[in-house]
Amino acid sequence: MNDFFLWMSMILGLLVLVCLYRGVFGPGFLNRIVAVNVIGTKIVVIMTLMGFIYQRVDMFVDISLAYALLNFIGTLTAAKYLERRGML
Amino acid sequence: MILEILSGLQVIIGVFLFASGTLGLIRLPDFYCRMHATGKCDTLGALLVLTGLAIYNGFNLVSLKIIFIVAFIFVANPTATHAIGRAALVNHVKPWTKEPSLAGQEEKRG
């Protein structure tokens, strides 16, 4: 089961690298915000899987919860700023 | 044994949903289409993977925390997607249409 979790987190890491293309070369500001949100959700899942791989789930779950909260707040702040001030 | 098979199946389905969401983010033509692809696939993929991990872990406090992360993502990810879409709509980002001439006519009519 440990090898299975390792393979799944490697596949998710490759998907993060594919998403990073849209984050770097994406036309405009909004595509980059969407890419950052997607990468954050994937990172939360990868971090919980890492906790199962390293046998320390009780520590990694707290970090992943805090990361999910920060990801949501960051995306919401950028979206509200663009809504009030207009497109950059 | 049965619980391990169930959790493994859920993790595999969740990773497949993540892959399809990433494919939509790369390949679809417009900003709204990309948001439509990622907003649903990512939410359901994270929900399935984390629920499978909670089933594999058993019934204790860590599993309760994982269920809490699932509930938070289930509320927060559509809210963030809705906020980005609203910011794009307020700033007059035009949606992609298949035939550009027809879009021009509708714009004149409107």
Nearest to B83 among A15, A42, A79 (CB): A79
Domain count, chain B: 1
Which ipTM did the prediction report? Answer: 0.89
Write the pLDDT tens digit of every residue in A28-68.
Answer: 888 999 999 999 999 999 999 999 999 988 899 999 999 99
**What's the pLDDT score for residue B102?**
55
Average pLDDT of the segment spanning B38-64: 92
Angle between helices A30-53 and B31-57 (to 10 degrees): 10
CA distance, residue A58 to nearest chain B CA (Å): 6
B16 three-class SS: helix
Residues of B in contact with A22 (CB under 8 A): 25-26, 34
Structure token digits, residue A88 = 């950059």
Distance of alpha carbon B89 from alpha carbon B69, whole angstroms: 30
Residue-number span of the structural domain to which B54 is assigned: 2-109
